[in-house]
Amino acid sequence: MDRTRDTFFALLVLVGLWEICALLLDSMALPEPWIVLLDIIAALAGGNLLDDLAISAVRALLGLLLAVAAAVPLGLAIGAEKPLRKRLSPFIYLLYPIPHVVLLPLIIILFGIGNLSKIFLIALIVFFQILVTTRDAATNINRNYYYSMQTLGASRLQVYRHVILPACLPKILTALRISVGTSVAILFFVESFATTRGLGYRIMDSWGRADYVALYTGICSMALLGFTLYLILDRLERRICRWNRTG
Amino acid sequence: MITVHSVNLSFAHNGATLPVLRDISFHLESEDYCAIIGPSGCGKTSLLFLLAGLLQPDSGTIDITGSPRSGTILQNFGLFPWKTVSQNIALGLVLQKRPPHEVRRRVDSLLEEMGLSGFGEHFPGQLSGGMQQRVALARALAIEPDILFMDEPLSSLDALTRERLQNLIVDIRQAKGISTVLVTHSIEEAVFLGRTIIVLSGRPGRVLQIIDNPDADTDNFRQSDTFFQRCIAVRQILAGEVDGPHA
Ligand SMILES: Nc1ncnc2c1ncn2[C@@H]1O[C@H](COP(=O)(O)OP(=O)(O)OP(=O)(O)O)[C@@H](O)[C@H]1O
Ligand SMILES: [Mg+2]
C-alpha cells in the first residue's frame, strides 16, 4: 500500500511538472494536462481509443509471449548444457548486437504487412534480450545445486524443473520487465505504417493533422499500456519469486 | 560395507594437475559411524564426494557392498532457496514419484522430529543457520537412507546449537540404525560423532591415522575423561602435521 501511495504521489509530481512546463511554454505543442485528460475521457467514451488500446496491447502481449516461449527454453538449455553453449554461443554473440529493426523489410516480405509481421518484429527483438539473460543466468548456477540433485537421484528433466528454471526465474522476469519498454517502443515503430489501428497509428495520425491534444492522448495511452504491462510483470515476479526477497 | 582402496584424486587447475588425495585406504562396517577430519583444503569434501559417487577417483577403488541408499548433506548450498522447507524436505520423495499423501505424511513427521513444526511454509532464507541444518538433515533422512554422508553440517553454528544437533545426529543414528560418515574440522565433533576417526594430512590428503573410538556412543561421553584424552590425541596428530615439514 505504501508503494501504491508513493507511486501515486510521483504521478502527481510528474503531472504538476507537466502543467508548469505547459504554462511556461504556452505552446500548442504542449497542451495542459487537464485538457488532455478531458480528451482521453471523450475518446474513451465516444471515440475508438479503447479499440486502439486493445489492439496495441494484444500486439505487444503476443510479441512478448512468443519471445518468452522461444527464448526461455532455448536460453536455459544453452546455458546449462555445455556442448550446446559451446556451439551456439558464438551465434548469439554475432546475432545479438545487430539492430534487428532493420530486418523489417525482410519480415514484411515474409509475413506480409498485417499483424503477423508487427508481432514477429516485437518478438524477435525481445527474444534476444530474454535469450541472453536466460543463458547467462543458467550458466552461473552454483555447481552444488546440481550435486544436491544428483545425490537425490534426479533425472536431467527433473534438474531443469527443480533447479535450472526456478534459479533463473528472477533474472528472466527482470529481463522481461525491461523488455516491456522495448516492446512498446517497437510497437510504436511498427504501428506507424501500414495500419490504421493501434496507438502508434493514433499518434502518427494526430501528429500529421497537427492535432496536439489527440497526439498527447495517444502518447499517454501508450505510456499507460507500458506501465500496465510493467505492473503485471512486477506483480508476477513478487508472486513467483517470493523466496528471492527473503534471503 | 565401504572399502576404500588406494584411492588417488587430482584436479586439473590452469593446465597443471593439483593432487588432492593420495593413497587413501580404509574400511567401514555397516552401522559404523565415521568422522573424517583434517586441515582446510586437504580434500575432505572431495573424499566425501567420492564416497557419495559424485566424483570418480583417478586410481584405486571404492567398493560399497549391498547397494545401500545414501543421503547426503553438502557443505554449502544444499538447500534450494526457491523451495519452502516442506518442499525441500519432500524433494527426494517427489523425484521418486511417491504418492503425494505418503510424501505429505513423511514430511510432516520429519518436521515434527526435527523441531521444525510450523516452519514448513517458510523459505530457507527465513530460517536461522541451525534450523537450515535441520532442514538439510530432514531432507537427507526423508528417503530413509542406510548411509548418511555429511559435509561439515554444523560448522556455521554456535557452540550450544552445535552440541544439540550433534546429539540429534547420535539419536537419529541410534534410532534408525544408519551408518554416518561425517566430515568436520572440529576435533571435538570428530571425537563425539566418530566411532572411527580418519585423520587426514594437509593437501594432498593422506591418511595420517585411523583412530578407533569405541566409547563414542556411551552416555555422557562428552563429559568423560576418555573424550578429552581422545581430543588431545587427535589434536597432537593434527598439530604434528601442521608444525611438521609441510607447514
Ligand atoms: N572441482 C574442483 N576443481 C578444481 N579444484 C578443486 C575442485 N574441488 C576442489 N578442488 C581443490 O581441491 C582441494 C581440496 O578441496 P576440498 O574441498 O576437498 O577440501 P576440504 O578439505 O573439504 O576443505 P574445507 O575444509 O575448506 O572444506 C582444494 O585445494 C580445492 O581448491
Ligand atoms: Mg570441504
Q: Which domains does chain B have, with CATH numbers?
A: 2-68+146-238 (3.40.50.300), 80-143 (no CATH)
- Taking only the tens of pLDDT, chain A with its 247 residues reads 688 899 899 999 999 999 999 999 988 889 999 999 999 999 998 878 999 999 999 999 999 999 999 999 999 999 999 999 999 999 999 999 899 989 989 999 999 888 999 999 999 999 999 999 999 999 999 988 999 999 888 999 999 999 999 999 999 999 999 999 999 999 999 998 888 889 999 999 999 999 999 999 999 999 999 999 999 998 988 888 888 876 5
- Predicted TM-score (pTM) of the model is 0.87
Does residue B92 belong to the interface with chain A, where contact is any CB pair within 8 Å?
A: yes
Ligand 1 centroid to residue B48 C-alpha, Å: 11
Domain ranges of chain A: 1-29, 31-244
pLDDT of residue B76 exceeding 90, the answer is: no
Chain B environment of A237 (Cβ under 8 Å): none
Euclidean distance between CA atoms A218 and A208, whole angstroms: 13
A144·B49 Cβ contact <8 A:
no
Query: Which mutation among B13, B22, B24, B45 tests ligand 1's pocket best, with the greatest number of atoms within 8 A of CB?
Result: B45
Which residue does chain A place closest to B70, by CA atoms?
A: A151
Alpha carbon of A162 to those of A72, A149, B79, B93, B126: distances in Å?
15, 9, 12, 13, 20
Chain B environment of A169 (Cβ under 8 Å): 82
ipTM: 0.86
Euclidean distance between CA atoms B93 and A155, whole angstroms: 13
Residue A2 has a pLDDT of 81
Which ranges constitute the DSSP H helices of chain A? 2-25, 33-45, 49-80, 82-95, 104-111, 115-139, 143-151, 156-159, 165-190, 199-208, 212-240
Residue B77 has a pLDDT of 60
pLDDT of residue B174 exceeding 80, the answer is: yes
Average pLDDT on B118-143 reads 91
Model confidence at B222, pLDDT cuts 50, 70, 90, reads: confident
Average pLDDT on B191-206 reads 90
Q: Pick A153's closest partner by Cβ from B75, B95, B124.
A: B95
Q: Return residues with CB closer than 5 A to ligand 2 (ion).
A: B 45, 75
Buried b (16+ CB within 10 A) or exposed e, A131-152: bbbbbebbeebeeebbbbbebb
Euclidean distance between CA atoms A159 and B78, whole angstroms: 14
Asked whether B204 lines ligand 1 (CB < 6 A), one says no
Chain A environment of B54 (Cβ under 8 Å): 147, 150-151
What mean pLDDT is reported for chain B? 89
Model confidence at B247, pLDDT cuts 50, 70, 90, reads: very low
Superfamily of structural domain A31-244: MetI-like (1.10.3720.10)
Task: Give the closest residue (by CA) to ligand 1 atom 17.
Answer: B45
Average pLDDT on B48-60 reads 92
Query: Which mutation among B14, B42, B156, B208 tests ligand 1's pocket best, with the greatest number of atoms within 8 A of CB?
Result: B42
Residue A246 has a pLDDT of 62
B74·A148 Cβ contact <8 A:
yes
